[in-house]
Structure 1
Amino acid sequence: MKKIFVLLLSFGYFSVFSQSKMIVRSSGDQSPVSGATVSCNNKVLGKTDATGTLNFKTKCKKVEISANGFQEEDAVVDKVMEVFLPKADPNVKNIQAIVLEDKSDPRALEILRKVNENYKQNSPQSLDSYSYKSYEKISLDLDEDSINAYNAYIANRIDSLKKLPQRPMKAAEKKDSVQSVNLMKLLGESKIFLWERASQTLYSQKYGEKINILDNKMAGIKDPIYELMTFRSNKNQIPKEIREENRNLYRFFLTDSIEIEGRQNYVIRFRQVDYKRTVKQRKFNGYLYVDKETYALKKIESNSKVKSEGSITSIWKPVDNKWFLVKENYKMKMTSTIFDNDDKKDKNKSKEEKEEDKRNTTRFGSYAFVTADYFDFKTPIEEKPEDFRGYTIGVKNSDGTSIDQYRTENLTAREAATYTTIDSLSSKYKLNQKAKALTGLLKGKIRLGMVDFDLSKIVGYNKYEHFRLGAGAKLNEKFSRYISPDAYFAYGIYDKDWKFGAGVDLRTTLEKNSFFRVEYFNDVMAAGRFSENLWNFRMKIMNSGVALNNGVFYGYEGLRVSYENDITNALTINVSAKKTQEESKFDYNFKGLGNRFDIASSTITLKYSPNSKNIMTPTGKYTYEQNLPELYLNYEQGYKALGGDFNFSRFDALFVHNFKTKLGVTGVRLYGGLITGDAPVWKNFTLNGLGNGREGLNFNLTSYLGFATMEGGRYYNDKFVGAYLTHRLPWYFKSFGKNVSSFDLIYRGTIGDMKNPEFHQFDFKKLDHLYNEVGLEWNNFLSSQFNLGFFYRVGYYNTPKFKDNFAIQFKFKLLGF
């Protein structure tokens, strides 16, 4: 089951004592189970009658169901619950003799087709406006059934340790031993981690979505972690179990119909395709309730193949004829805490002794628990422009002082103890500092005190420098909220030369991204690189390999002054002016003027990202959802009048989007550039070849705008357009492991021209015919986190030799499309 945080629980205080109806049946033949006991926290709520039904009231969020001859199950409390108990005796064959066909029920597929067809119409976002509040709780803990066993084990463990002969210990060893014992005790008394968040969501067709964090509290962490505040469920997305492209990952069976709050619902059971043999007599690993009138999802429950590994339940309800998510509950097995019962460590043990050690090892599984309630629904709402201003998420309060106003249930004694316990450990183990360090990694930084170190500066590779080693550091908000100096240096192993730079950011406000920057630099770059202004860290990392096989570099030294401002949540502008001295690092002569020039220019960059979601943090703006479409525009103007050698104008643009149809998901990148006036070749555009141009297999890493089959550094144009199209086939499958694989069809093409190639006296070619390559990419190759692509060059630039046209490309999946 994918490690995705999901949420759930009740409608609020007003409904915790409402009537609930439980229907219990056998998972084999679906016959009613009478006498099944329904309980909460070891308190019996009642037993089912002859029809397998029990009506009860409870304030519990979850109940347990047990019956003689059946395995125990649990269920999230709802108005109506239907639970199927598996047989407990594995030798009972009469029920399991039922053979499931390895194909879905056509009736179930037709219902799911209508669910997808009507999903947008049933979604709250089809309303003109609405608002609601939510309370979410995330924790990390042992399974409830294991807590008593864990405490008993720790008590016995400590007693046995006391009986052992005491050996002399150094002060540090003794301190570590005492702390280790104390930590083991605390784990039995409280949860390992606890975080609560209350928020208000506003939505308007005119102004979009706005989320206000009403309060936030995390055990052991004093300073709020804004990046964690951005955590969201998939409440506005179609659940993966019913998406059309995932049809062949599951088998669906229409098994029943049931009435819930006066509305009739279809009941559809489903199982994974590789779930052909029952595990512990569990025939299905999930079910769906579908409203018969609107074909909206009422409830979905999905379990892992082995139930102890995780489960998720989501429940919706109609409000003004649209279906709002009201509960989510998520449990996922994380890791196991391992205790070796034998304290005698010996690295020279035999294989048999090591196997015996494994049998003597005690394991306790830890789980992530996520629960959420959504309540106080209102539609329509008064749409005030000022309520939607700023970034997508605004923080009203984050110190935890008012979180109890929004809790939909009281904390348990174990949860309340977590705040006391973890807070007491916070300073000792520097939890606050470690949490900040982890959030820094999201932005490609390592945080040490008031200094952020840039991970992208540590090591790099290109054809000119070969390996490039360096470091970059920036003073963060602990130094100053308004002033942030930074510097970097690097050394090229092949060219044996140092590069360096320094700058300072001066913020004008803490409410949004708005700052002046002054910087000095002395560095090198591949000639003709496409602008990456305002690209995020992931995009830059993905495109960093575009110059791996381009040895045409130039050096630049100078000063730049710039100002950047987020005009709205969607629109960012950056204006800059710079004066540089630039020189080719290859044999080059431009119009007989040599290879070294003074450049004076100004640049305007615009980024438009209407659907991306942002939050302002103490370290600056953080984009927690980069949603498409996006548009990037750059205009650079060179001036002779300001001491430069040339007048020129350089434009480039990039448009990125994707869209989904019944035929799959199509991604589009359209980009191009134009330069007018006089300028050296590095101000023109290289066409981003990734090939090595040598004999043998052409193998390379993917890049954001690169061509797998094109030779690097070979083609330069003063004007060009390009397209990168990818289409994901709606066929998902599993090879082995947990990851789902799929295939992408890919097309890359570009064409352009150069008006006066003779002005640039070095060995290159202009690309004035359409360059095409097509490819097939296997996503999650052999269930790994990597994609493997095969590409072939077609059209005008195709050559008779197959290997000249063929390339294999490798991509890290986390970089995405």
Structure 2
Amino acid sequence: MKNVFIILLFLSFNIAFSQSRIVVKNAVDESAVSGAVVKCNNQLIGKTDQSGILVFKTKCKKVEVSAAGFYQDEVVVDQLMEVFMTTTKVKTREIQTVVLQDKSDPRALEILRKINDNYKENSPQSLDSYSYKSYEKISLDFDEDSIKAYSNYIANRIDSLKKLPQQPMKKQQEKDSLQSVGLMKLMGESKMFLWERALENLYSKKYGEKTIVLDNKIAGLKEPIYELMAFRSNRNNIPKEIKEENRNLYRYYLTDSIEIDGRENYVIRFREVNYRQPVNKRKFNGYLYVDKDTYALKKIESNSKIKSEGSITSIWKPINNKWFLVKENYKIKLGAASFANVEESGRKTKQEKEAEKQTRSQFGTYAFVTADYFDFKTPIEEKAQDFKGYSMEVESSDGNIINQYRTESLTKREETTYLKIDSLSSRYKLDQKAKALTGLLKGKIRLGMLDFDLARIIGYNKYEHFRLGAGVKLNEKFSRYISPDAYFAYGIYDKKFKFGAGVDVRTTTEKNSFFRAEYFNDVMAAGRFSENLWNFRMRIMNSGVALNNGVFYGYEGFKLSYENDITNGLTLNIAARKSKEDAKFDYDYKGLGSEFDITSSIITLKYSPNSKNIMTQNGKYTYEQNLPEFYFNYEQGFRSLDGDFNFSRLDALFVQNFKTKLGVTGLRAYGGIVFGDAPLWKNFTMNGLGKANSGLNFNLTSYLGFATMEGGKYYNDKFVGAYLTHRLPWYFKSFGKNVSSFDFIYRGIIGDMKNPEFHQFDFKKLNHLYNEVGLEWNNFLSTQFNLGFFYRVGHYNTAKFKDNFAIQFKLKLLGF
């Protein structure tokens, strides 16, 4: 009898604590809102009592809350929810704006400081090991309130079209018209996009992170999109709302304390700065629940200032005294679909077009993301075998077992999405279009079995001026193992064609491992730093390094190489090269002339231990480039095989960043040295970006360039350089949605040339420390560009201000 009583007590306890409790308050004075209606998918759950409280059970992920005199709201289901409803009364909102102080509560700021101080200790990654699974669902759709209105709109539109006089149409026009109507009807019946993914996440302090794709399903796509599959949530990142550097963007208020699961929590509400209070804006942008004992985040809800623009909710729970993320829910407005209410033929006047704009129906389109994390285990048995290979691998991707991992059943609309969009996939070639979009991530345009290289379309340098060209490579649709490629280019100024061709032969499809043979006939700026194994973003950023350097050489020959990823973070490339090289400038080396045969071997190493990679059908894809990174090149020239010189050329690059309370500091340290006899272009140019004898020195930033240095002026056979940038922990908004900040930048370089007289050419060696300092305004005037101002100091400073000063522009997307 006693055992039965214990079981009943346990069951009643479990039932009681599996319930959800919602508290609804007035956002103006925080008084209770009684009689507030709580619904799930338009089905009534209940109403709040006199205290504004409702206790209920539901399987829904979100509930809608409405009350007379207030704007409707919604909230992610949790054990405890608080909803602060905004009144529809204008005068009350005006009073609310006045009462709200425009400064943060010092007590709230102190709690936020402790959250940041304890974040690493509270993070699961402070454990020795753990594992968990996750189920994520991402979709594009109309807002729930708009779906019915849109369906009615489509029905009325079709009726209106039927009543219009029938105009004679060609077969293709009739087909396009029917498809257009069909697509509009489809959008009323199903989502525009639906993607589900199930993952298993492993972590070991000894072996690192490993993510396994258990299954993956995307509506309309039969083949997996690995680049999309590698999309990462922010589960391991500190939310931007609590980062110390973002304190100027929000105002924080400690308002309450509340008990959840027997643990006391602080409640901090926050709002964005420059707050204005029109009809549909909230008093607060969100709230934080903070565990009192550990200063760990329990929950964060971050809303847009305008309710219709979306919200983000994240919920954590303690396991082994560490806080694991258990739920995420995103709703982000992407834009509005706009449709005319009538269909008319013939041309329209300007007045008719303006009138049509006023009668267009608009429906907000949103990205919806839900993620559940479960099956937590810590510690786990750590086996090296489980962590081998790349940081992400795919176990299954056909969608056949995704149902095993779903934490909720698909809605009827979601089921329809798979049926409807799958049926349209072949008609609209969705697989090909998706592949084309993912190709852009690697700087390619994909057309069938051809990949076109975007970086080769157009370029500029001082020797060729505009360089026009094209590069194409046969992708995995041609062969999984053999991939030929070719390119050509034409220089507008030198009026010469350049070209090259090669072929990759893979040894396996499990990782990056292939042989390559190539032929080339091209030109390059003399003394450029090696870019072997650099990614597309780094090469694009450094592509303008020769804009004002006219010292070029030509090279024609062939190369054989082998590349292999030894581990997830270590890549090796070895090559043998034979070429005929000649100066495209007035030059003579040691009386031997300006044209030489070069025979050499090259070894390149890249070490990137924290970057995240996945193997795709088209090769390795780095979906998260994390620092530090180290690059090393060693080229050895031989007199054998008709080579003219015996030389050794080494160069290395180290990239890292460091975050402290004073901000984020980035470092690029690099250098090189040449031993033996070698022509000028086998030495190193110092990467000047400036023009000689110009008025205003304006240039585009480069990865290793100097804004104030004259291009093509300095050459060394040995050098070391550093690029330091420090982002101030102060973020602000000028206007628009982008957040601006400032970086202090220092660039320095020094080296020497042992025998400059060997090179019969007008240049200078750089044997004193060259310094330039600068200030860069990130997101200049809320654009996607950074604007930098630089000044040369130290030994190479001159009396003229304009000689020392430079302005630089940089696309923010290129990053540090």
TM-score range, shorter chain: over 0.9
Residues 279, 306 of structure 1: 8 Å contact kept: no
The correspondence of residues 75-154 of structure 1 with structure 2, limited to 5 A, is: 75-92=75-92, 96=96, 98-154=98-154
Give the Cα–Cα distance (whole angstroms) in 1 for the partners of residues 287 and 15 of structure 2: 24
Aligned letter for 2:329?
Answer: N
Aligned letter for 1:711?
Answer: E
1:350, CA displacement in angstroms? 3.9
**Aligned with 2:197: secondary structure?**
strand
Residues 281, 305 of structure 2: 8 Å contact kept: no
Aligned letter for 2:509?
Answer: L
The C-alpha deviation readout for 1:658-684, integer Å capped at 9, x for no partner, is: 010000000000000000100000000
What's the counterpart of residue 544 of structure 1? 543
1:355, CA displacement in angstroms? 3.3
Residues 87, 93 of structure 2: 8 Å contact kept: no
Give the Cα–Cα distance (whole angstroms) in 1 for the partners of residues 703 and 691 of structure 2: 18
Residues 28, 92 of structure 2: 8 Å contact kept: no
**Aligned with 1:259: secondary structure?**
strand
Residue 195 (1) aligns with residue 200 (2): no
Choose between structure 1 and 2 for higher RCO, CA contacts under 8 A separated by at least 6 residues: 1
1:277, CA displacement in angstroms? 3.1
Residues 17, 57 of structure 1: 8 Å contact kept: no
Give the Cα–Cα distance (whole angstroms) in 2 for the partners of residues 596 and 628 of structure 1: 41
1:95, CA displacement in angstroms? 5.5
Give the Cα–Cα distance (whole angstroms) in 2 for the partners of residues 665 and 276 of structure 1: 32
Give the Cα–Cα distance (whole angstroms) in 2 for the partners of residues 694 and 450 of structure 1: 49
Residue 437 (1) aligns with residue 443 (2): no
What's the counterpart of residue 25 of structure 1? 25
What's the counterpart of residue 512 of structure 2? 513
Give the Cα–Cα distance (whole angstroms) in 2 for the partners of residues 225 and 81 of structure 1: 37
1:341, CA displacement in angstroms? 1.8
Aligned CA distance change for structure 1 residues 579 and 264 (closer, same or farther; 3 Å): same
What's the counterpart of residue 574 of structure 1? 573
**Aligned with 2:90: secondary structure?**
coil
What's the counterpart of residue 297 of structure 2? 297
What's the counterpart of residue 401 of structure 2? 402
Aligned letter for 2:455?
Answer: S
Residues 123, 324 of structure 2: 8 Å contact kept: yes
The C-alpha deviation readout for 1:409-434, integer Å capped at 9, x for no partner, is: 00000000001100111111100000
What's the counterpart of residue 321 of structure 1? 321
Residue 625 (1) aligns with residue 618 (2): no
The correspondence of residues 424-503 of structure 1 with structure 2, limited to 5 A, is: 424-503=423-502
The C-alpha deviation readout for 1:101-122, integer Å capped at 9, x for no partner, is: 2110000000000000000000
1:339, CA displacement in angstroms? 1.1
What's the counterpart of residue 386 of structure 2? 387
What's the counterpart of residue 659 of structure 1? 658
**Aligned with 2:177: secondary structure?**
helix
Aligned letter for 2:600?
Answer: S
**Aligned with 1:484: secondary structure?**
strand
Give the Cα–Cα distance (whole angstroms) in 1 for the partners of residues 244 and 278 of structure 2: 25
The unaligned stretches of length 5 or more in structure 1 are: 1-13
Residues 588, 761 of structure 1: 8 Å contact kept: yes
Residues 96, 281 of structure 1: 8 Å contact kept: no
Residues 90, 280 of structure 1: 8 Å contact kept: no
TM-score normalized by the length of structure 2: 0.97
Residues 32, 51 of structure 1: 8 Å contact kept: yes
Give the Cα–Cα distance (whole angstroms) in 2 for the partners of residues 334 and 578 of structure 1: 51
1:98, CA displacement in angstroms? 4.9
**Aligned with 1:237: secondary structure?**
coil
The correspondence of residues 732-771 of structure 1 with structure 2, limited to 5 A, is: 732-771=731-770
**Aligned with 2:237: secondary structure?**
coil
**Aligned with 2:152: secondary structure?**
helix
Give the Cα–Cα distance (whole angstroms) in 1 for the partners of residues 633 and 523 of structure 2: 21
1:642, CA displacement in angstroms? 2.9
The C-alpha deviation readout for 1:467-521, integer Å capped at 9, x for no partner, is: 1111111111111111111111111111111111111101001100000001110
Give the Cα–Cα distance (whole angstroms) in 1 for the partners of residues 329 and 108 of structure 2: 25
What's the counterpart of residue 694 of structure 1? 693
Give the Cα–Cα distance (whole angstroms) in 2 for the partners of residues 660 and 740 of structure 1: 19
**Aligned with 1:96: secondary structure?**
helix
TM-score normalized by the length of structure 1: 0.97
Residues 34, 51 of structure 2: 8 Å contact kept: yes
What's the counterpart of residue 561 of structure 1? 560
Give the Cα–Cα distance (whole angstroms) in 1 for the partners of residues 386 and 244 of structure 2: 37
What's the counterpart of residue 221 of structure 1? 221
Give the Cα–Cα distance (whole angstroms) in 2 for the partners of residues 758 and 519 of structure 1: 35
Aligned CA distance change for structure 1 residues 670 and 93 (closer, same or farther; 3 Å): closer
Give the Cα–Cα distance (whole angstroms) in 2 for the partners of residues 769 and 94 of structure 1: 64
Residue 529 (1) aligns with residue 528 (2): yes
Aligned letter for 1:196?
Answer: E
1:634, CA displacement in angstroms? 0.5
Residues 160, 342 of structure 2: 8 Å contact kept: no
Aligned CA distance change for structure 1 residues 744 and 737 (closer, same or farther; 3 Å): same
Give the Cα–Cα distance (whole angstroms) in 1 for the partners of residues 25 and 636 of structure 2: 75
Residues 73, 85 of structure 2: 8 Å contact kept: yes
Give the Cα–Cα distance (whole angstroms) in 1 for the partners of residues 285 and 272 of structure 2: 7
**Aligned with 1:668: secondary structure?**
strand
1:99, CA displacement in angstroms? 1.6
1:346, CA displacement in angstroms? 6.3
Aligned letter for 2:37?
Answer: T
% identical equivalent positions: 76
Give the Cα–Cα distance (whole angstroms) in 2 for the partners of residues 364 and 93 of structure 1: 27
**Aligned with 2:92: secondary structure?**
coil
**Aligned with 1:217: secondary structure?**
strand
The C-alpha deviation readout for 1:592-649, integer Å capped at 9, x for no partner, is: 0000000100010000001000000010000001100000000100011232101000
The C-alpha deviation readout for 1:766-797, integer Å capped at 9, x for no partner, is: 00000000000000000000000000000000
**Aligned with 2:181: secondary structure?**
helix
Give the Cα–Cα distance (whole angstroms) in 2 for the partners of residues 284 and 716 of structure 1: 59
**Aligned with 1:565: secondary structure?**
strand
**Aligned with 1:156: secondary structure?**
helix
Residues 523, 552 of structure 2: 8 Å contact kept: yes
The C-alpha deviation readout for 1:741-765, integer Å capped at 9, x for no partner, is: 0000000000000000000001100
Residue 204 (1) aligns with residue 204 (2): yes
Aligned CA distance change for structure 1 residues 67 and 389 (closer, same or farther; 3 Å): same
Aligned letter for 2:452?
Answer: F
**Aligned with 1:746: secondary structure?**
strand
Aligned CA distance change for structure 1 residues 515 and 253 (closer, same or farther; 3 Å): same
1:807, CA displacement in angstroms? 0.3
What's the counterpart of residue 811 of structure 1? 810
Indicate the RMSD between aligned Cα atoms, in angstroms.
1.3
What's the counterpart of residue 717 of structure 2? 718
Aligned CA distance change for structure 1 residues 788 and 200 (closer, same or farther; 3 Å): same
Residues 604, 635 of structure 1: 8 Å contact kept: yes
Give the Cα–Cα distance (whole angstroms) in 2 for the partners of residues 491 and 481 of structure 1: 31
Give the Cα–Cα distance (whole angstroms) in 2 for the partners of residues 92 and 742 of structure 1: 36
Aligned letter for 2:280?
Answer: K
The correspondence of residues 6-85 of structure 1 with structure 2, limited to 5 A, is: 18-85=18-85
Give the Cα–Cα distance (whole angstroms) in 2 for the partners of residues 89 and 161 of structure 1: 41
Aligned CA distance change for structure 1 residues 716 and 94 (closer, same or farther; 3 Å): closer
Give the Cα–Cα distance (whole angstroms) in 2 for the partners of residues 169 and 490 of structure 1: 45
Once structures 1 and 2 are overlaid, which stretch shifts more, 337-346 or 404-413?
Answer: 337-346
Residues 157, 342 of structure 2: 8 Å contact kept: no
Give the Cα–Cα distance (whole angstroms) in 1 for the partners of residues 648 and 609 of structure 2: 28
Once structures 1 and 2 are overlaid, which stretch shifts more, 705-714 or 52-61?
Answer: 52-61
Aligned CA distance change for structure 1 residues 707 and 97 (closer, same or farther; 3 Å): closer
What's the counterpart of residue 312 of structure 1? 312
1:90, CA displacement in angstroms? 2.0
Residues 279, 305 of structure 1: 8 Å contact kept: no
Once structures 1 and 2 are overlaid, which stretch shifts more, 362-371 or 332-341?
Answer: 332-341
1:165, CA displacement in angstroms? 1.1
Give the Cα–Cα distance (whole angstroms) in 2 for the partners of residues 607 and 31 of structure 1: 61
What's the counterpart of residue 8 of structure 2? none
Give the Cα–Cα distance (whole angstroms) in 1 for the partners of residues 149 and 694 of structure 2: 65
Aligned letter for 1:173?
Answer: Q
Give the total of aligned pairs.
803
The C-alpha deviation readout for 1:16-46, integer Å capped at 9, x for no partner, is: 9931111111101111111111111122111
What's the counterpart of residue 182 of structure 2? 182
